[in-house]
Every structure is written in structure tokens, then in C-alpha cells.
């Protein structure tokens, strides 16, 4: 079969990094090719070049057998190639419908005519329905949680009638159900002869949908697996060159005797349900917070750290009631949220790795008004080493790191702060499997040191692997709790979808 897309000997360097070093890749019409590799392996760079976002330094790209060189996204799009970005790329102030049609608005009477809002809204609704989004097309994107934004981005791509769709970690903030819907759409695309390049760190997904897997390591081809050769172990071996333990298992069990370190008593908050929420976490305990995307987990977390107005109830740390009106107050009390959307809350993208890790720790690093530069560098270096953050240098601008490495910087920045209560919102979103087990190990050790941890995750394997018990949210409220000895996928899913017995714990 002739390849639809053929990439030969592609190279690309950035200052201090060889992102791609002679990469080959090919994909046929109707094929799903998964591209996997550790954080910083060069996956996104490769895809950006194919989609005309970046120019290569060398090498060749053939599309329909003819050499092409796209100087812009528009040119790639005109040829039939569309990229769904890893870091979402929506205009936040515009509506869902406007985003779906951004750059190719429907008009009445030629290119410069009036916008045909009705047609756009109707078509947007149809595209959104295809991937299971039910919010009104007029909703501003800024009002949507991150999973829904990801679906809007996918809907936009589906509307472009592309021959090749590149999905760069499309499911990192989708629920299992949404992921299944997306897989259905990918099946339809396949049957329609569309080629799909699929990047994911979730190897179960790769096993489920890929016809073939290409593995990148340090900017080079590390190997390829045909459909019948695809297995978790085979992929991981090519990715990291060694065997990695598949699931993390907790080393330290919480001691039941302790009084709660973190206690939430009957709080109600802006944007939350009428019913109040309560929970308690002992020192050393890791409590998972599960639920479908949109179940209100992030909202609850935001209320706990002062990002939402709390209208009733009480929060206590080590038995002492605390007043939290802002994340700064929370921080002062030793309560930290590592947010889900690093681009929005977690990072100063223009700042260096050193500055980002040092910033929340300024008080510890400064004498009088001055930050001791040596201390800041030492702190940053410690966390870059501990988390294996792949960066050319400690002074590198964070926005230029690969997605997963940005996530690790967010982590380093907050963990360096030594909190008493840690709330993690999707801590391993976009993080590769090797780094993931490092992060789990780290959370585990922090808990062993007496921290109380509340971990929001849509990754059930992760929730089951690391939690001492799991709270499950459904439609804004805590629908129930699954204790350690009954912890399994079914118990969590039942509560999340409200199929289980209501629990009055
Ligand atoms: N614009 C840029 N300037 C400098 N360095 C860059 C730039 N874009 C990417 N890099 C570097 O190139 C390397 C490859 O990055 P890339 O984003 O392609 O990795 P990735 O495989 O997509 O990783 P992830 O799984 O974390 O998303 C990384 O070391 C990254 O820091
Ligand atoms: Mg990437």
C-alpha cells in the first residue's frame, strides 16, 4: 500500500537540544499509527513539523507521494492535514461554535458576507454531538472544564474534512466514557480512509486502537511494532530500554490511629451543589477523589484552597480551624493545590525552570529582600534531578519544555514547599510511564512523612494503585466512599455513574 504520508530523515534542533535526529515515519490511508516515547522524546515536535507549525532543519516529507513543505498551518490544512494540539489551542473568550469554526467561518454570500451564525451553530452542534458534547454551542469556552475543551478541539478537527488527523494526547483530560466515544469516532475515520497519528502515554489506549506503533527515543526511531506485536511490555522496553513496573503499589499504609490532619466540615461553595461536603484525611493517608469528568472534583478542590467563595462550613488543619480566602492563605496554612491546567495556574511560561521552582519558595530562599541566587539554583537543580526533568539548562524558559516536563516542573515547584496537606489535580496528566512511577514514589514518600494527600484523577488505574481509600463524586456531590478493602474499578464506577447504593458516610 502506498503511504499517505512519508517522513524521511527529519531533523530539528533547538538551542541546546537535538529534538529530532533523523526520524522516519510512514502512515497509510485508513491506518491508526500510535507514536509513543518518553517526555521530551520529540513526538510533538515531529507532529508540529508535519502540520506546518514548525519548519524542519533537514529531511523530507512526502504527502500522497509528492514532496511537500508546509510554511504554515493553513497550507497543511489546505493539503488535508490537521493537528489537535497537546496544549489546547482554543480562543477562550469565544463560544464553542465560534471555536469550532475559527478561521473558516460560514458566511452568507461569499467570503466577505455576513457570518451565518445559524448555520455555524447547527453544524457545530452536529459535530459536538458526534463526540458526545451536549453543552449549548453558545457557551463561552472559558466556562468549560478542561475535558470538554479538549472535546471542542477534537470537534473542530473533525469539521475540517482532513485526510490525516494528528492527535497529540487527545485523551489526557477525558473520562473513560469520553475516551470510548473518541475511539468510536476514530473507528469511523478509519473506515472513511482518514489516517490518524495518535500520541498517548496511556498504553492501554494504544493497545486498543493502534494498527502499528512507532517508538521514539531521544529524537530517534527506537523501533516499531506491528499490530500483533503490540503489548505493554514491548512498548515500554522500546521506550525506555528496560522493563518498568506496570502499576505502582503503595509501600506505606496509613496509620488509622491518628486524628485527621485535614478536615472539611459541611462546606458549601460558589458553583457547588446545595448539599454540603465533608471529608477527613489523616496524616500519611492518600485519598483518591474519583468521578467522571465534570463531576465537580476540580470545583471542590478550588473551594478548599480559596479559589472559590466558601459560603458555609469549616476547614481544619490538625484540629485548628483555618480561614482561607485565597490560595495565598491556604499556602500559609500548609495547604497546597497542584492544579490541573498548568498553562493557566501552574506555571509562568516565560520564566525559567529555575525561576518557576524558586518562585513559590522565595521566602525560604531570601535574606531580607534579596533572593540568594545560589540557593535558588540549588533548589531548582535538586528537583530537576529528583524528577528527571529534561531541560537543556536550568535557565531554560519553561514554555519551551515538552508537555510532560512542564508538568514535572509544576510538581517540583510545589513539593519544594513542604506542605502539610497536598491536593493534586490530575498529577500525571501527560507524564510518561517512567516519570509516572517516580511521581507515585514521591507522593508515597511525602505521605510517609505525614502529609495528608487528596488526589483527583481520571485515571482509574492510578486511583486504585495509590489511594488508601477513594471518595467518589457525582454531579457535584460526594456520592460515596470506597474503603481500601473493597477498592476496585467496579465499586468506583458504580458510584461515579450513580448506579450504586447511596452511601451516607
Ligand atoms: N520551541 C522549542 N524551543 C526549545 N526547545 C524545544 C522547543 N520545542 C521543543 N523543545 C525541546 O525538544 C525536545 C522534544 O520536545 P517534544 O515536545 O517534541 O517532546 P514530546 O515527545 O512531545 O514530549 P511529551 O511527552 O512531554 O509531550 C524537548 O527536549 C523539548 O524541551
Ligand atoms: Mg508532546
324-335 pLDDT, tens digit per residue, is 998 888 988 999
pLDDT at 126 over 80: yes
pLDDT confidence of residue 503: 41
Closest ligand to residue 393's CA: 1
> HEC profile for 78-115?
HHCEEEECCCCCCCCCCEHHHHHCCCCCCEECCCCCEE
Tell how far the Cα of 468 is from the centroid of ligand 2, in angstroms.
32
Q: Compute the mean pLDDT over every residue in the chain, rounded to the nearest whole number.
A: 86
- Higher pLDDT, residue 9 or 73: 9
Dihedral of CA atoms 432, 437, 440, 441 in degrees, nearest 10, equals: -140
pLDDT digits (tens, 9 = 90+) for 53-94: 999 999 999 999 999 999 998 899 999 999 998 777 788 888
Q: pLDDT band for 358, please (50, 70, 90 cuts).
A: confident
Q: pLDDT band for 505, please (50, 70, 90 cuts).
A: very low
Considering only CA atoms, which of 327, 315, 345 is closest in space to residue 452? 315
Is the C-beta atom of 361 inside 6 A of ligand 1? Answer: no
417 Rama class: left (phi>0) / alpha (psi -120 to 50) / beta: alpha
pLDDT at 252 over 70: no
pLDDT confidence of residue 498: 66
Tell how far the Cα of 68 is from the centroid of ligand 2, in angstroms.
23
CA distance 125 to 361: 46
124, three cell numbers: 457545530
The b-or-e profile of 457-483 (16+ CB within 10 A means b, else e) is bbbbebbbbbbbbbbbbbebbbbbbbe
Considering only CA atoms, which of 8, 29, 10 is closest in space to residue 21? 10
Is the C-beta atom of 402 inside 6 A of ligand 1? Answer: yes
Give the contacts of 363 (CB within 8 A, at least 6 positions apart).
none
Q: Which atom of ligand 1 is nearest to the CA of 390?
A: 29
At residue 392, φ and ψ (nearest 5 deg) are: -60, -40
Tell how far the Cα of 44 is from the centroid of ligand 1, in angstroms.
7
pLDDT confidence of residue 455: 96
pLDDT confidence of residue 11: 98
Taking residues 216-233, report their average pLDDT: 93
Contact 480, 487 (CB under 8 A): no
Distance of CA 21 to the CA centre of its chain: 27
Q: pLDDT band for 297, please (50, 70, 90 cuts).
A: very high
Q: Which atom of ligand 1 is nearest to the CA of 169?
A: 27
pLDDT at 434 over 90: no
Lowest model confidence (mean pLDDT) among 44-58, 263-277, 338-352, 445-459: 338-352
Contact 230, 238 (CB under 8 A): no
CA distance 335 to 311: 19
Taking residues 213-226, report their average pLDDT: 95
Q: Specify the 3-state DSSP secondary structure of 199.
A: strand
Taking residues 330-358, report their average pLDDT: 83
Contact 289, 471 (CB under 8 A): yes
Considering only CA atoms, which of 88, 55, 87 is closest in space to residue 73? 55
CA distance 435 to 366: 31
Is the C-beta atom of 404 inside 6 A of ligand 1? Answer: yes
Considering only CA atoms, which of 134, 177, 138, 132 is closest in space to residue 158? 132
Distance of CA 379 to the CA centre of its chain: 26
At residue 56, φ and ψ (nearest 5 deg) are: -75, 160
CA distance 228 to 212: 9
pLDDT at 371 over 70: no
Considering only CA atoms, which of 193, 229, 154, 255 is closest in space to residue 2? 193
Contact 271, 299 (CB under 8 A): yes
Instruction: Name the residue of 45, 343, 389 to mutate for ligand 1: max ligand atoms within 8 A of Cβ.
Output: 45
Quick one: what percent of the chain has pLDDT higher than 90?
Answer: 43
pLDDT at 417 over 50: yes
Q: Which atom of ligand 1 is nearest to the CA of 37?
A: 21
pLDDT digits (tens, 9 = 90+) for 108-119: 665 556 667 777
Per-residue DSSP letters for 136-195? Answer: -TTSBGGGS-HHHHHHHHHHHHHTT--SEEEEESTTTT--HHHHHHHHHHHHHHHHTT-E
- Higher pLDDT, residue 220 or 376: 220
Q: Is the pTM higher than 0.85?
A: no
- The residue length of the chain stands at 505
pLDDT confidence of residue 500: 44
Helix (H) or strand (E) holding 223: strand 220-226
Distance of CA 439 to the CA centre of its chain: 15
Tell how far the Cα of 405 is from the centroid of ligand 2, in angstroms.
9
Q: pLDDT band for 105, please (50, 70, 90 cuts).
A: low
Considering only CA atoms, which of 210, 148, 113 is closest in space to residue 341? 148
Closest ligand to residue 84's CA: 2
Residues 245, 247, 248: CA angle, nearest 5 degrees: 95
Report the sign of the C-alpha dihedral through residues 154, 160, 162, 168, in that order.
negative
Positions of E strands within 382-468: 421-425, 452-456
pLDDT confidence of residue 113: 60
Q: Which residues pair with 425 in a beta bridge?
A: 456
pLDDT digits (tens, 9 = 90+) for 180-216: 889 999 999 999 999 999 999 888 899 999 999 999 9
- Higher pLDDT, residue 149 or 31: 31
Q: Which residues pair with 363 in a beta bridge?
A: none
Q: How far does the chain reach from its first CA to its final CA, in angstroms? A: 59
R_g of the chain, CA atoms, integer Å: 23
Amino acid at each position: 500500500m502506498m503511504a499517505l504520508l512519508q517522513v524521511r530523515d527529519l531533523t530539528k534542533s533547538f538551542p541546546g537540544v537535538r529534538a529530532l535526529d533523523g526520524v522516519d515515519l510512514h502512515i497509510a490511508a485508513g491506518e491508526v499509527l500510535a507514536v509513543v516515547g518518553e517526555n521530551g522524546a520529540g513526538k510533538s515536535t515531529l507532529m508540529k513539523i508535519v502540520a506546518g507549525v514548525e519548519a524542519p532543519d533537514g529531511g523530507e516529507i512526502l504527502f500522497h507521494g509528492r514532496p511537500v513543505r508546509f510554511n504554515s498551518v493553513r497550507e497543511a490544512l489546505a493539503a488535508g492535514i490537521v493537528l489537535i494540539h497537546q496544549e489546547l489551542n482554543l480562543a477562550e473568550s469565544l463560544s464553542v461554535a465560534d471555536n469550532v469554526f475559527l478561521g473558516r467561518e460560514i458566511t452568507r454570500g461569499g467570503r466577505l458576507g455576513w457570518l451565518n451564525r445559524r448555520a455555524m451553530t447547527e453544524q457545530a452542534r452536529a459535530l459536538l454531538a458526534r463526540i458526545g458534547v451536549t453543552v449549548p454551542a453558545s457557551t463561552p469556552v472559558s466556562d468549560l472544564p478542561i475535558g470538554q475543551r479538549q472535546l471542542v478541539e477534537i470537534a473542530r478537527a473533525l469539521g475540517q474534512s482532513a485526510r490525516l488527523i494528528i492527535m497529540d494526547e487527545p485523551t489526557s483530560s477525558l473520562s473513560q466514557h469520553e475516551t470510548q466515544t473518541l475511539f468510536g469516532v476514530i473507528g469511523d475515520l478509519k473506515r472513511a480512509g482518514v489516517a490518524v497519528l495518535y500520541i498517548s502515554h496511556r498504553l492501554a489506549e494504544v493497545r486498543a486502537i493502534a494498527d502499528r506503533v512507532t517508538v521514539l527515543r531521544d529524537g530517534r526511531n527506537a523501533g516499531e511494532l506491528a499490530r500483533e506485536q503490540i503489548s505493554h511490555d514491548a512498548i515500554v522496553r522500546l521506550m525506555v530500554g528496560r522493563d518498568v513496573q506496570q502499576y505502582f503499589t503503595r509501600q506505606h499504609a496509613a496509620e488509622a490511629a491518628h486524628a485527621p490532619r485535614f478536615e472539611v466540615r459541611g462546606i458549601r461553595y460558589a458553583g457547588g451543589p446545595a448539599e454540603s461536603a465533608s471529608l477527613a484525611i489523616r496524616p500519611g493517608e492518600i485519598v483518591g477523589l474519583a468521578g467522571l469528568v465534570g463531576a465537580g472534583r476540580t470545583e471542590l478542590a478550588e473551594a478548599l484552597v480559596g479559589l472559590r467563595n466558601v459560603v458555609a462550613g469549616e476547614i481544619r488543619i490538625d484540629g485548628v480551624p483555618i480561614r482561607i480566602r485565597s490560595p495565598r492563605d491556604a499556602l500559609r496554612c500548609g495547604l497546597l493545590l497542584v492544579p490541573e491546567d498548568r498553562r493557566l495556574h501552574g506555571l509562568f511560561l516565560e520564566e525559567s525552570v529555575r525561576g518557576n521552582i524558586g518562585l513559590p519558595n522565595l521566602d525560604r530562599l531570601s535574606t531580607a529582600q534579596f533572593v540568594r541566587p545560589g540557593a535558588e539554583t540549588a533548589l531548582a537543580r535538586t528537583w530537576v534531578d529528583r524528577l528527571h526533568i529534561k531541560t537543556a539548562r536550568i535557565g531554560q524558559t519553561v514554555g519551551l519544555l515538552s508537555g510532560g516536563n512542564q508538568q514535572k516542573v509544576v510538581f517540583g515547584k510545589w513539593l519544594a514547599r513542604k506542605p502539610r496537606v497536598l491536593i493534586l489535580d490530575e498529577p500525571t496528566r501527560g507524564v510518561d510511564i517512567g516519570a509516572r512511577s517516580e511521581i507515585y514514589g514521591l507522593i508515597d514518600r511525602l505521605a510517609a512523612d505525614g502529609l495528608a494527600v487528596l488526589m483527583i484523577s481520571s485515571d482509574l488505574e492510578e486511583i486504585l494503585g495509590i489511594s488508601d481509600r477513594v471518595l467518589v463524586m457525582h454531579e457535584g456531590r460526594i456520592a460515596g466512599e470506597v474503603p481500601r478493602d473493597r477498592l476496585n474499578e467496579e465499586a468506583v464506577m458504580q458510584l461515579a455513574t450513580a448506579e450504586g447504593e447511596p452511601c451516607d458516610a
